Amino acid sequence: MKKLTKDLEKLGIVNVAEIHRNLTPSELIEHALKRGEGTLSDTGALVVTTGKYTGRSPKDKYIVDTASIHDKIAWGNVNKPIEKEKFNSIYNKLIAYLQNREIFIFDGMAGADPTCRRKFRIINERASQNLFIHQLLIRPTEEELNDYGHADFTIIAAPGFKCNAKIDGINSSAAIIINYEARVGIICGTEYSGEIKKSVFSIMNFVMPEIDVLPMHCSANMDPRTGQTAVFFGLSGTGKTTLSTDPNRKLIGDDEHGWSDHSIFNFEGGCYAKCINLDPEHEPDIFNAIKFGSLVENVVMNPKTRELDFYDKSLTENTRVGYPINHIKNAQIPGIGGIPNVVIFLTADAFGVLPPISRLSRDAAIYHFVTGFTSKLAGTERGITEPQPTFSTCFGEPFMPLDPLVYAEMLGKKIELHNTKVFLINTGWSGGPYGVGNRMNLKYTRAMVTAALNGELDEVEYRHDDIFNVEIPQYCPNVPSELLNPIDTWANKEAYGAAARKLAKMFRENFAEKYPNMPEHIVNAGPVFFE
């Protein structure tokens, strides 16, 4: 404990009421209940509400701009700079706030591969948030904890400390700030636990390329017989969790991974899943994971029966549960697999013009990785009357601090070196746009994924799509051939051509605006716009 106290003093944390280090989930739940932080559900999960912030707060996220990292960061609307002096001022007020308070410390790791992992010390004001990160990161054994040494990074999360936006020179009372030079992150004024998880991810996305590990916002699974692995990239609503959760394959992880020269590996030791409209029939793994040791956020609960109502979105649509990965029956533990033989990019095209499955060249893979496309639907937000494109760099723009070209070049080198096959799968609409066509049948999408993973598309005939610049298989087992070429599913071929050219133009305009320094051969591998 003396060493821990000295380490805390180096951070300026002194005169705290009590220090709790690496408590068990049972102990943390007892503390949380005693402190009035949450309530137990009928299945034993700890249920909390997060107040004003029920999701990430991107406008309150900053990176401390210091000389040693200034030229490495892709500064802009996502990676916003804050002066070191402003950070220090907020930090000093934060650690003063922690005086005479209990603190809960979790010393854990990010990175299932021991050769690539980093040690993180998470300091929490709340026992419930310490439970969350205990279950989400990789938990050390007793021996590893005894030999823990110094953390590579420290994150301090104190939702009770509110910033003064005017005095502190920031956006609001909340602040999520990473100081890469000092190896410290702070999270103030927000009770949403996802900020802790994503701060760890952002840090890993900064440090992993230094050791030639590609950090990826993706899910990953493995064939238990052959050991072959696959990774799935996709934004919200594309089916990433659904398609990577396969009873015939081991789940390596559902969200954050690294690709080294000898493995892919989960950064985490747990999952953070959406709960809205959760159905035990369609997503039994997540449903059954909500038990003692899990932390449920913002799901409405019957106060008498303690039953959770997953269809009630009165608090937020972003209802969540955090749980250790061993709550999943077919989890691969530890979360390590071999070099992926297949990479799948998932998109939900509401314009109805992208092929349901297409093969990508190396340059096209880099293009679509950097672009990170899906679409918002009409009616999901006020003012949206037709499908809107959504582009998120590397399928994880809010968490990628470096220049996209860094991640893109790493992906290109790895798929070329290992001859990894890359497919773009559209889980969106066919036969017309949203409102006219139909959503691609999940049964057919699963058949396409299975065919891609099993090598059943390696020797089939392909047709080049001149607009989207991709290769479309003309046969896929268990999928009607008439669905494979999107133009064949539209009654009005001219309308298809107009819609396809419109989306291709959106791709090109987005790429030109966001990535003006991308090599020409990558630009030319994307969609082609014909006037």
* Binding residue numbers: 56, 192, 198, 217, 234-242, 255, 283, 320, 445
Q: Which of 332, 336, 326, 297 is nearest to 135 (CA)?
A: 326
Cβ–Cβ < 8 Å for 201, 127:
no
Residue numbering of the annotated binding site for substrate: 56, 192, 198, 320
Backbone angles phi, psi at 20, to 5 degrees: -115, 120
DSSP state of 331: B
Q: How many residues does the chain have?
A: 531
Cβ–Cβ < 8 Å for 484, 473:
yes
Taking CB atoms within 8 Å and a gap of at least 24, the contacts of 79-84 are 79/401, 82/169, 82/170, 82/177, 84/179
Sheet with 46-48, side-by-side order of all strands: 39-40, 46-48, 295-297, 320-324, 270-274
- Tell me the C-alpha to C-alpha distance, in Å, between residue 146 and each of 22, 140, 301, 403: 11, 9, 40, 38
Give catalytic residue positions: 56, 198, 217, 236, 240-241, 255, 320
Cβ–Cβ < 8 Å for 298, 49:
yes
Q: Rounded to whole angstroms, how far apart are CA atoms 426 and 140?
A: 39
3-state secondary structure of 432: coil
Q: Rounded to whole angstroms, how far apart are CA atoms 227 and 211?
A: 25
Residue numbering of the annotated binding site for Mn(2+): 198, 217, 255
The single residue listed with the structure tokens 């959504």 is 390
- Tell me the C-alpha to C-alpha distance, in Å, between residue 131 and each of 323, 327, 335: 9, 15, 20
The single residue listed with the structure tokens 């081991």 is 250
Cβ–Cβ < 8 Å for 249, 220:
no
Cβ–Cβ < 8 Å for 394, 407:
yes
Cβ–Cβ < 8 Å for 294, 325:
no
Token pair for residue 16?
Answer: 């705290």
CA 329 vs. chain centroid, Å, equals: 22
**Beta strands per DSSP E along 236-339:** 250-253, 256-259, 264-266, 270-274, 295-297, 300-301, 308-309, 320-324, 336-337
Straight-line distance from the first to the last Cα atom of the chain, in angstroms, rounded to the nearest whole number: 70
| CB-neighbour burial class of residue 67 (10 A; exposed 0-12, middle 13-18, buried 19+) | exposed
| CB-neighbour burial class of residue 4 (10 A; exposed 0-12, middle 13-18, buried 19+) | middle
Q: Rounded to whole angstroms, how far apart are CA atoms 486 and 473?
A: 12
